[in-house]
Amino acid sequence: MRDVLDALAKRVHKNEASFVNYKRMFVPMAAPPQINHPELKLTTNVMFHHIQGMLTSETAVLAETGDSWFNGQKLKLPEGCSYEFQMQFGSIGWSVGASLGMACALKGQKRLISLIGDGSFQVTAQDVSTMIRFGMNNIIFLINNDGYAIEVEIHDGPYNNIKMWNYCAVIDAFSNGAGNVFTKKVKTEGDLVEAIKIAQQRPESLCFIECVLARDDCSGELLEWGARVAAANARPPAKLS
């Protein structure tokens, strides 16, 4: 493939028209406001504001299927900060196993930050046990909004509800007193700031931060996307001639 691309590069001509148009229309996205009230309940915007502050050239980001798709796309990546997400198949639960593989690949080079919803996590949670076994040091933000938020915005119903877990206790059970693990459940901005501080002070630990959010706290992009997918799903099947 390298040979193919080298040969192709000699034949194509640079055309910046699309990039020029993009810059002409681009409006910078406003950053989430700093609330400065640590006791207030945590919101998605505030959570991602603090995740943004964690990113450096020595970190990498992995975003799960769901609202992390859209919120992750808003992060400003420092040079050298890699980013992975999977939208081709929309495979819920993909990120936990992918976090294991990516953390292994980046071990000793970058620290992985994974953004995973609670519904997705329950599909493949056991992969965290293998992360602990092999001494991974990634940071997992478990976004606990009590269900499959992406499915709620497409078509809500009782099938989007899940059994609430004691997520930190699950990770502690995987560790079983033998792994280098830090877990923390956070409900306020102050809790989150303290948990991030501890995670950064423990660079060799697998850090699991459960962020408790309101069920209807999601991005505007997910609301729009969910409505469009719902409309597409509701169309009658095409008649075959």
SS3 per-residue string spanning the chain: CHHHHHHHHCCCCCCCHHHHHHHHHCCCCCCCCCCCCCCCECCHHHHHHHHHCCCCCCEEEEECCCHHHHHHHCCCCCCCCEEEECCCCCCCCHHHHHHHHHHHHHCCCCEEEEEEEHHHHHHHCCHHHHHHHCCCCCEEEEEECCCCHHHHHHCCCHHHCCCCCCHHHHHHHHHCCCCCEEEEEECEHHHHHHHHHHHHHCCCCEEEEEEECCCCCCCHHHHHHHHHHHHHHCCCCCCCC
Share the mean pLDDT of the chain.
Answer: 88
116-142, pLDDT tens digit by residue? 999 899 999 999 999 999 999 999 999
Residue listed under structure tokens 């306020």: 188
38-79, pLDDT tens digit by residue? 788 999 989 999 999 999 999 999 999 888 888 998 899 999
Give the model's confidence band at 225: pLDDT under 50 very low, under 70 low, under 90 confident, else very high. Answer: confident
| For residue 36, pLDDT beyond 70 | no
Domain ranges of the chain: 35-233
Structure confidence at residue 223 (pLDDT): 78
Give the model's confidence band at 82: pLDDT under 50 very low, under 70 low, under 90 confident, else very high. Answer: very high
| 107: its two tokens | 């071990």
| For residue 193, pLDDT beyond 90 | yes
Across the range 171-198, mean pLDDT stands at 95
Residue 144, Cβ density class (10 Å: 0-12 exposed, 13-18 middle, ≥19 buried): buried
141-167, pLDDT tens digit by residue? 999 988 777 776 667 778 778 899 999
Residue 170 CB neighbours (<10 A): 20
Structure confidence at residue 29 (pLDDT): 64
Domain range 35-233, CATH architecture: 3-Layer(aba) Sandwich (3.40)
201-219, pLDDT tens digit by residue? 999 999 999 999 988 888 8
| For residue 32, pLDDT beyond 70 | no
Distance (Å) of CA 180 to CA 83, 101, 105, 132, 197: 25, 18, 19, 7, 17
Give the model's confidence band at 108: pLDDT under 50 very low, under 70 low, under 90 confident, else very high. Answer: very high
